[in-house]
Structure 1
Amino acid sequence: MSLDTLHLQDGITRLALAPGIGGAVANWSVIATGQPLLRHADERALAAGTPRLLGCYPLAPWSNRITEGGFDNPEGWLALAANADNSPLPIHGSAWQQPWEVIEHSERSVLLRLDSQVPFAYRAEQRFELNEGRLMIHLQVTHQADTPMWHGIGLHPYFPRTSHTGLQASAEQVWYCDAASLPTHLSALPAHWNFDEERQLPAVHTDNAFIGWTGQARIIEPQAGYSLEIGSDQGIYLLFCPEGKPFFCFEPVSHPVNAHHMSGKPGLVLLQPKQSHSLTLSLQYRPLS
């Protein structure tokens, strides 16, 4: 596993990537102040060799947990084993657990690629671009197996969190979950999860999928003096706010948790050989006046 990092900068922000650690973002920060805009990863975090200690990583060919030991495809059952030491279920696909190849690299842009055979053949590409304080990530997955498979996609960024961190992210409904973070029922938004207007992050443990997202959101850090404007082409986000931690996750994804076992497989895409599925996320840094 390579611990080498690649660097981009646009005069306002600087990005460090760790292609050998799951194609992950290690750090994204403001050049003038050093302010981290994603959770900061030090040398110890990089040496641990897992994207789960870094700033952001790709989710493919699915997001989050899958139950029942696999899922059904048109050509038959795909068996899956647990793939993380902190989860009894297969989680987040396989792209985050493999090294990625650097295809292109310039001052403001990088293209990474992964040709995976696990759990089936697919190619994933990530294009990272910096421009005037804006980070754009485009993730695309192309199905390479001979038979069709259900695909999902997502990104898993970790953001700094303080007691004053605010979020604005309009959605229509939320999936309630059980103790294993598996969805139980879809419901209207309770007050503490209604982010139509800016509000502080919930004090209660949150690990839920929000449906009917507009694709626009904003993170506000008043003490650190900046905001992040979020844009995505997806209509679902996962919000993960672990209690007592200095970070939270706001994850644009194509499908709710365990969609492989929901009626109609909502948000999943059945890809034929050579067909592709993609996701775009933009994060715009804005100093607060």
Structure 2
Amino acid sequence: MSKKGDAEYRWNSGPFQIGIVPQGGAISRIDWIRPDGQGIINLLRPVTEQDIASGNPSSLGCFPMVPFANRLAFAEFEFDGRIVKVPANRPPSPHAIHGFGRGSEWNIERPTVDSLRFNHKYDDPESGFVYVAWQEFKVTAQDVTLEIGVRHLGRTPMPYGIGLHPWFPGGDDVSVSFIATDCFGTDEDMLPTTRTVIDLGRDFSDSKMIRHNRGLDVHYTGWHREADMVWEDAGYSLKMLASERFGNLQFYIPEDGKTFCVEPVSHVPNVHNRPEFKEFGDVLVLDRNQTLSGSMTLIPTLLARPDSGLVDDDDIAQPESRDYSLVD
């Protein structure tokens, strides 16, 4: 196990090895030991030592989004009769993106056998965002869960949103499926402009190969909080289950198709400035000491091959049920 203070902190639990980069609170790896004894699979996109040393969470496997997810137009919004300004953190764009957590140092707490928690504090009385945020891994023999949460510590209420931004390995053999009710059209800055029906090009209710959808960047609402990903050539699949708070989804496939993102989030991007979108996923106003949390669970499975000797899914122990209630 690595030491605190290292650029990458590694932690082993059950069949998983987790890598955490404290700068930015990013996840560098979730390695799964194959149950057939044939090595390991990194469930997230592979990263290099240079990526880890770069200090750029967007180059790693997963990063946190807090106290808002995705884009916030012109880095400001009106709340409680005043204009709240936040850093525009992707110059030269005038907009803010992904919150403050990925630009902060996270502190790793002492792990237990099956859980590991890390946190960061943010204190900006001028904006009103004063909070402590956490991420916590919980591991079983079948799955790994990552929870993100935030506790408001300011004297006056503030609106909060959260999300997780995992990057998965792409390729010509990879397919994805999920169900949602609606999605959003966007402007040239990828800010939502209108809710719309899910047309054929954005419908993933039946499994689709990501290679046919490069350049896609869509926000979905009414997501059923479940996604299935398959890497046919590598011989495994990954199911993502999200907690109730994560009723929205951002799905992104870069033009090169070498990676893709299935991002569980709590609200529509820029809903702070678009009150007409609140019914499709709103931020949550927290008073002092109130919390907001959500989680994603990743369940890897080897694909059954003819004459492989692998057991059917029905014979594999299924993960225990979880209580995903929101704590106020």
- Retained in 2: the 8 A contact 1:161–1:248? yes
Where does residue 97 of structure 1 map in the other structure? Answer: 103
Tell me the equivalent position of 2:289.
Answer: 274
Secondary structure at the aligned position of 1:47 is classed as helix
Q: How does 1:185-204 map to 2 (within 5 A)?
A: 185-201=194-210, 202-204=212-214
| Counterpart-to-counterpart distance in 2, 1:96 and 1:61 | 10
Count residues with an aligned counterpart: 288
Query: Is 1:207 aligned to residue 186 of structure 2?
Result: no
What amino acid is the match of 2:229?
A: I
Aligned to 1:176: 185
Partners of 2:92 and 2:43 in 1: CA distance = 26
Give secondary structure in 2 for the equivalent of 1:159: strand
**In the alignment, what sits opposite 1:25?**
27
SS at match of 2:87: coil
SS in 2 for 1:189: coil
Superposed CA offset, 1:17-51 (max 9, x none) = 11x22111111123352322101122110110111
- Please, what TM-score do these two structures have when normalized by structure 1? 0.94
- Structure 2 unmatched ranges of 5 or more: 305-328
> What SS is found at the alignment partner of 2:73?
coil
Identity of aligned residues (%): 28
Could you say which residue in structure 2 is the equivalent of 1:42?
48
**Distance (Å, rounded) in 2 between the aligned partners of 1:81 and 1:139:** 22
Q: Which has the larger radius of gyration?
A: 2
Which of 2, 7, 12 is 1:9 aligned to?
Answer: 12
**C-alpha distance in structure 2 between counterparts of 1:226 and 1:140, whole Å:** 30
Is the 2:119–2:132 contact (alpha carbons within 8 Å) kept by the matching residues of 1? yes
Aligned mates of 2:139, 2:92 — CA distance in 1: 33
CA contact (8 A) 2:159 2:283 kept: yes
Is 1:243–2:252 an aligned residue pair?
no
Residues 125 and 11 of structure 1: is their aligned pair in 2 closer, same or farther, counting only changes over 3 Å?
closer
Query: Contact 1:45 / 1:54 at 8 angstroms: preserved in 2?
Result: yes
Using the TM superposition, give the Cα deviation of residue 80 of structure 1 relative to its aligned residue in structure 2, in angstroms: 2.0
Which stretch of structure 1 is more off in the superposition, 41-50 or 70-79?
70-79
**CA-CA distance at 1:81 after TM superposition:** 2.9
Correspondence for 1:139:
148
TM-score, normalisation: structure 2 = 0.83
Letter in 1 for 2:151: T
1:222-249 CA-to-partner distances (Å, cap 9, x unmatched) read 1111111110022110001111141011
Q: Secondary structure at the match of 2:138?
A: strand
The equivalent residue for 1:227 is 237
Partner AA of 1:283 in structure 2:
L
CA pair 62-53 structure 1, distance change in 2 beyond 3 A:
same
Counterpart CA distance in 2 for 1:153 and 1:68 is 19
The 3 A distance-change label for structure 1 pair 105 and 4 is farther
Amino acid at match of 1:278: S
Gaps of 5+ in 1: none
Question: Which structure ranks higher in relative contact order (CA pairs < 8 Å, sequence separation ≥ 6)?
Answer: 1
Match of 1:257 among 254, 265, 269: 269
Residues 257-285 of structure 1: per-residue CA shift (max 9 Å, x gap):
11111125442101111111111110011
Q: CA RMSD in A?
A: 1.8
C-alpha contact (below 8 Å) 2:109/2:117 kept by paired residues = yes
Contact (CA 8 Å) 2:108, 2:117: kept in 1 or not? yes
